Amino acid sequence: MEILSNEKANKKAALLSILSNIVLILLKLIISFFTGSISILSEALHSLSDLFASVITFFSVKYSETPPDEKHPYGHGRIENVTASVEAILVIIAAIFILYESIIRFFYPSNIQMPILGIVVMFLSFLLNLFLSNYLYKVSKKTKSVALEGDALHLRADMFSSLAIILGFVLMYFFHWYVIDSIFAFAVAIYMSIEGVILFKKSFNPLMDESVEKADLDTIIKIFEDNHYRIHNLRTRKSGNIIFADVHLELPPQMSLIEAHTICDNIEQLVAEKNPNIRVNIHVEPTNPDKN
């Protein structure tokens, strides 16, 4: 039941992200046209990359929940890592374009029209991103969805860059420092680049079978230790929001196969109770009396 509720939460969050990005793109494109602001145009492009990311996330979340089959015995969870990597690349490409445009506009600045309108729209954008990024981040932590977490990070970047652009518009309105528009657009692009690299690393590493975070490792180890079982060769990897763990469990050589099997079943149940997203594969070995 918990897995089904997580699936619904993921889909709802991804769909909400798509709708909000469409609204933000339309608003920012219209306002950038009327004001002539490169920083708002950069925000529109950032939101456009977020829209592509949200669409990809929606379908990847849906596909990742497809049950395992003969060709995919470990499920389809890694599609989330693939799509999150694509999201990161889109962010970096958008950042490069904004960098180019901001440098050109720095040397050839132009007057900004209707700055008050720009301030109002960017403040609305900030409020929407604040609500949505917090919502997506909360859902991603609950469901362990790396794709949704990537979406939340994108919107959080938009939120802070919106604040920077509002400050820039205030300076332009009172002091007529129009060059500040290109400077803030440049800053947004740098922030987007850093964000993209971090997201790419986080989403791509599981594709290389990187071990899971220490907190998840400790969850598995503690269950064995609490039940006084000796283990070794613990290996973990992640596929979407599912953690696969392989471990060697040492049991007395005189123990029957039925007893050993029962112990393994009990351990798997304990792990599932602690974290339903962990799948443990246990290899039983006889205890070596020579070990301390």
Q: What is the pLDDT of residues 172-192, one digit of tens each?
A: 888 877 788 788 778 878 888
Label residue 4 by pLDDT band (50, 70, 90). very low
Mean per-residue pLDDT, 23-32:
86
For residue 190, the surrounding DSSP H or E stretch is helix 179-204
Helix-, strand-, coil-residue percentages of the chain, each rounded to 5? 70, 10, 20
Dump the DSSP string for 241-270.
Answer: TEEEEEEEEEE-TTS-HHHHHHHHHHHHHH
| Residues in a beta bridge with 236 | 245
Burial group, residue 281, by CB count within 10 angstroms (0-12, 13-18, 19+): exposed
- For the cut 80, the answer to whether the pLDDT of residue 35 exceeds it is yes
User: What is the residue type of 132?
Assistant: L
d(CA 95, CA 194): 10
The pLDDT score that the predictor gives to residue 257 is 92
CB-CB contact of 189 with 95 (8 Å): yes
Give the 3-state secondary structure of 57-98.
HHHHHHHHCCCCCCCCCCCCCCHHHHHHHHHHHHHHHHHHHH
| Residues in a beta bridge with 282 | 247
d(CA 88, CA 241): 18
Tally the C-alpha atoms within 13 A of residue 155's C-alpha that lie toward its C-beta.
32
- For the cut 60, the answer to whether the pLDDT of residue 292 exceeds it is no
- For the cut 50, the answer to whether the pLDDT of residue 1 exceeds it is no
Q: What are phi and psi of 145, to 5 degrees?
A: -95, 115
The pLDDT score that the predictor gives to residue 261 is 94
The pLDDT score that the predictor gives to residue 223 is 92
Give 273-291 pLDDT, tens digit per residue.
Answer: 888 889 999 999 998 766 5
CB-CB contact of 270 with 223 (8 Å): yes
User: What is the residue type of 171?
Assistant: L
Positive or negative CA dihedral for 250, 252, 253, 254? Answer: negative
Mean per-residue pLDDT, 248-270:
93
Place of tokens 């993209």: 196
| Residues in a beta bridge with 239 | 242
Domains, the chain, ordered by start: 2-208 (1.20.1510.10), 214-286 (3.30.70.1350)
d(CA 225, CA 213): 19
Across the chain, the runs of DSSP E, i.e. the strands, are: 230-239, 242-251, 278-286
276 DSSP 8-state letter? T
3-state secondary structure of 178: coil
Mean per-residue pLDDT, 191-219:
85
Enter the tokens of residue 235. 């290996």
- For the cut 60, the answer to whether the pLDDT of residue 153 exceeds it is yes
Burial group, residue 175, by CB count within 10 angstroms (0-12, 13-18, 19+): exposed
Label residue 5 by pLDDT band (50, 70, 90). low
Enter the tokens of residue 10. 């993921």
Q: What is the CA radius of gyration of the chain?
A: 25
